[in-house]
Structure 1
Amino acid sequence: MDQSAPPAVQAEGIVKRFGPTVALDEVRLTVRPGESHALVGRNGAGKSTLVGVLTGLHRADAGTVTFGGQPAPAFGDTAARQSKVACVYQKSMVVPDLTVAENLFLNRFDDHARWIRWGRLRERAERLLAEYGVRVDPGTRARDLAVEQRQFVEIARALSFGARLIVLDEPTAQLDARGIARLFDKLRELQDRGVAFLFISHHLQEVYELCTAVTVYRDARHVLTAPVADIGTSDLVAAMTGERSAAATAWHADTGRTATRDTAAVPVLRTEGLTLRGEFEPLDLAVSPGEVLGLAGSAASGNTAVGEALAGMRKPDGGTVSVHGRAVRPGSVPHALDAGIGYIPEDRHDQGLVPDRSVAENATLTVTDQLGPWGTVLPSRTREFARAMITSLDIKTRGPEQPVSGLSGGNQQKVVVARALARDPSVLVAVRPTAGVDVKSKDSLLGVVRRVADEGNAAVIVSDELDDLRVCDRVLALFHGRLVATFASGWADGDLVAAMEGVGERE
């Protein structure tokens, strides 16, 4: 990394207001060429707003931004801005029904021709992909690519405009361990060629693995910038939250609690021979009252399919699911709800929220039959129900009527949780419940899962995030659809990761 070269980006004294809300209060950021620089903070700290300022989505009310030592292009000059900076978002921005080549050169197929020359377009795409070492067939439809391949395509497209700063916004949220490793290898290759990355993530272990510097924002203000090697995890968390974290939190599973669990009691949730062809082999589960069970595994392990089958989202090919001994109709979401299964889906954007609707409407989607007589929905009763959930889960919102799209990621996730809890479920099934939320929101959400179990119900967490799984009294590791290991609370990180990766499989 050339310290004598001008910064890839330098922002100083950036102020941004949205009405009375101060989203950025004189913040600063400097990213050097060839550097991977982490920007961390709780949801609502100002990270996304700064990205909007850098990429030209927002006009700053005060402050300066330079790229490579030159003033940022004028607000609204999209083409000039694209030549300086691009953002690869957690939710892919490629057009799924177009090919890789079409996505790479969208809106710039051939400026000097009256029609598109498809062979020439493919050749241009092959040269561009080869230049940056991206091994993808240009003729492949984007929807058929793996998640990290779509990200590589987006990065290659950004670099083709001349951008030397790439913002990565939660790039690993939908990747398994192998996908993350491939992504990080590619980022390091590009760093060696002088490309700078601004890495936004709630996964602090990834910050330590990839980045050389970190900047922390809290409550719209700059808190610190430091070399990653010079700041410990506890100090980093303290900077993000303003609080010192305890060695273990209340939602962590402990051997004492596991020992007192009544394993002889009738299981709250039981599966027998549950199977889904191509996803997971026959699986027998028994989750006792007061127990949190973890289903650990990568994206290809089949654990997500198990969670979806339990919630009625997918119809299994065989086997049974029962709650308190009552059979649940396979592949029926309404029947699963009536049986007492609450569900937190993997992707709150696509499966969890109706973005144009209010917090109250989203939180009460599963209980509309309880909000008025004879099938009606009374707005007053909806608001009353929502206020109780807002208070219970500490959802930061202006009120029940606020559109859910206006909340931070962590608070949006709490709305999804509120809906799952609205019917007082006997079983809570949560798929990667803390994806894309900050440290404090993660604690809050996992505390809710622990509370559900402690009230005598059962919970199932489906995840490959080790922090998610620490709440579990028992963890089952799946690999390619098979149960390969069982862990009691107190497992070692290395042992569980090895099992999830299929290393030293144990029956």
Structure 2
Amino acid sequence: MTHAEPPVVEATGIVKRFGPTVALDGARITVRPGETHALVGRNGAGKSTLVSVLTGLQAPDEGTVAFGGRPAPRTSDRDGWRQRVACVYQKSTIIPGLTVAENLFLNRHPRGHGRLISWPGTRRRAQELLATWSVAVDPQTPAGELDVEQRQFVEIARALSFGARFIVLDEPTAQLDAAAINRLFGRIRDLQRQGVTFLFISHHLQEVYEICDMVTVFRDARHIVTAPVADLPRTELVAAMTGEAPAARAEDRTRSLGTGARSALSVRGLRGDTYADVSFRVGAGEIVGLAGAAGSGRTEVAETVVGLRAATAGEVQIAGRRPAAGSVPAALAAGAGFVPQDRHHQGLVPDMSIADNATLSVPRRLGRNGLLSHGRRDQLAERMIENLAIKTPGPELPVSALSGGNQQKVVMARALADDPRLLVLINPTAGVDVRSKEFLLGKVEETADTGTGVLVASDELDDLRLCDRVLVMFQGRVTTEMNRGWHDHDLVAAMEGVDLDA
């Protein structure tokens, strides 16, 4: 590799806005021939938006992209982009109902006499392509029968068949076991030697040190640093991702915690598809964080606690009661309140009013024998609107007419409507403005002060700062417990599975 050659890709001064949100702010990256170049950053740092710009799916509002020293094609020139760059996404783009050969040459099959598709020619070219790039898959195999690892190799071969020698790998190890990860890394090194360049995106920083030559860090939509991996210690990499905020250490809380025999939540030996042997306790009035990167199992554990999922083994007790597994009504009846991960799909009925959304979980408080009193509903909703400072002309307004922050307040209002003994929150401030975030987190502390136990499952540091303890999950297990006063560096390193002393 020589720097006399032009970069495989160079993006400079990239700005991309989505309404008021600035997703990229003067961002830049330079990837040189033959590298495996890591792109890392916390959620919301701008990685996905940059990939969409580098692959031609989004045009930047400002800035330039060049391949091999030449300007990128117009966004409408899809063939031009395919010849320069391809992305293998975490979610496969292979069509399971077609064979491997049909997927490889979709919409560009070899033609025979009369311009009909030549199936023998398609299979022959597929076999040649797979052999060229050492992909050991039968071209006549239905793609739906491939495992995750095989699908990735087929997608890489398909990208290379267009002429691209620059491949973006988006979380390629997320669904692979250790042996498959080692095989993938071996293939990446083989392809590097054949002149293929990779941009590697991963939540697992340890993998950056195993496979990558260079690393670029994004934070808050901006480029922070680019350096050789060998020259960037783990502590400095994590510092670049988190920033040097003066509030990095959480302030001490003076609120006393409940110490009674009964806990708000007790989880023992919980096991599911994405987690194993999870045990912990949340005391009355205690706020406990459940932290972890994507795929850590934190969300699934929280959803199991409130009955959205059923564990295959283990026990959940809420305020001393053991609700039926996999039953949200049973968890609510036991004393749980719940703010789900996605308010749009799990938390709200958009066409219903604020009043109806806020009181969906407490019909017995609105009337008897299945008959609901609109007067009682509106009285309860108006108290919620005042308590949560929801900006609305009245309770009858459709919840879809509210801002994101006020919609999240409605979800929180419903979670608190029945005075829960346990409040479970998953990413409670995702997609809300700063003032709404501060208000919601203040409401969580206020709720805990009344003796309610709180479980906060999140990877957002601001959500976790108010916690008395944070349990860190990595690859389905609780690996670390940190008391209040943790440092950003230490928590992020634990979430990413990085040993800062290595």
Q: Same fold (TM over 0.5)?
A: yes
Q: Name the residue aligned to 1:224.
A: 225
| 1:8 counterpart residue number | 8
Q: Does the 8 A contact of 1:237 with 1:244 survive in 2? A: no
How far has the Cα of 1:239 moved from its partner?
A: 4.2
Query: 1:184-231: per-residue Cα shift (whole Å, max 9, x none)?
Result: 343333223221122334544443443322334445444433223333
Q: What does residue 33 of structure 2 align with?
A: 33
Aligned partner of 1:329 in structure 2 is: 324
Q: Deviations over 1:388-444 (max 9, x none)?
A: 4999xxxxxxx985787xx9xxxx9x999969966675456689x79x99xx9xxx9
Aligned-residue offset at 1:91: 3.4
CA change 1:327–1:206 in 2 (3 A) is same
Asked whether the 8 Å contact 2:41–2:217 carries over to 1, the reply is yes
SS of aligned partner of 2:6: coil
Residue in 1 that maps onto 2:308: 313
Give me the TM-score of the superposition, normalised by structure 1: 0.64
Map 1:288-307; keep pairs closer than 5 Å. Answer: 288-289=283-284, 290=286, 292=288
Aligned letter for 2:320?
G
- Residue in structure 1 matched with residue 88 of structure 2 by the alignment: 88
5+ long unaligned stretches in structure 1: 252-256, 392-398, 498-507
Cα distance, 1:81 vs. partner?
A: 0.8
1:375 and 1:96 map into 2 onto residues whose CA distance is 51
Identity of aligned residues (%): 48
- Judging changes above 3 Å, is the alpha-carbon distance between structure 1 residues 163 and 23 closer, same or farther for their aligned structure 2 residues? same
1:17–1:463: structure 2 CA closer, same or farther, 3 Å change rule? closer
Across the aligned residues of Structure 1 and Structure 2, the Cα RMSD in angstroms comes to: 6.0
State whether structure 2 residue 282 is matched by structure 1 residue 268. Answer: no
Matched, 1:104 2:104: yes
**Residues 369 and 231 (structure 1), Cα distance of their counterparts in 2 relative to 1, 3 Å cut:** same
Contact 2:339 2:412 in 1 (8 A): no
Q: In the alignment, what sits opposite 1:70?
A: 70
Structure 1 CA distance for aligned equivalents of residues 45 and 278 of structure 2: 43
Quick one: distance in 2 between partners of 1:487 and 1:28? Answer: 35
Deviations 1:172-193 (A, max 9, x none): 4555555544443433332232
Counterpart-to-counterpart distance in 2, 1:419 and 1:104: 51
Partner Cα separation in structure 1 for residue 390 and residue 242 of structure 2: 21
Aligned length: 459
> What secondary structure is seen at the aligned counterpart in 2 of 1:194?
coil
Check whether the contact 1:44–1:220 (CA below 8 A) recurs between aligned residues.
yes
Offset at residue 328 of structure 1 (A): 1.3
Per the alignment, residue 394 of structure 1 pairs with none
- Residue 334 (structure 2) aligned to one of 339, 347, 368: 339
Match of 1:151 in 2: 152
Aligned residue for 1:213? 214
Distance 1:390 1:154 in 2: 48
Write the distance in 1 (CA, Å) between the matches of 2:20 and 2:290.
43
1:52 Cα deviation from its structure 2 partner: 2.6
Equivalent pair of 1:261/1:291 in contact (CA under 8 Å): no
Instruction: Describe the superposition over 1:361-407 as per-residue Cα deviations: whole angstroms up to 9, x where unpaired.
Output: 99x968545699748798x969x86994999xxxxxxx985787xx9
Instruction: Describe the SS at the equivalent of 2:74.
Output: coil
Q: 1:366 to 1:32 in 2, by over 3 A?
A: farther
Equivalent position of 2:499 in the other structure: none
- In the TM superposition, what whole-angstrom CA distance separates every residue of 1:2-41 from its partner, at most 9, and x where no partner exists? 4333211122344445567655454432101111223344
Unaligned stretches of 5+ residues in structure 2: 367-371, 392-398, 484-489, 496-502
- Structure 1: which amino acid aligns with 2:134? G
The letter for the 1-side match of 2:323 is: V
TM-fit CA distance, 1:76: 0.8
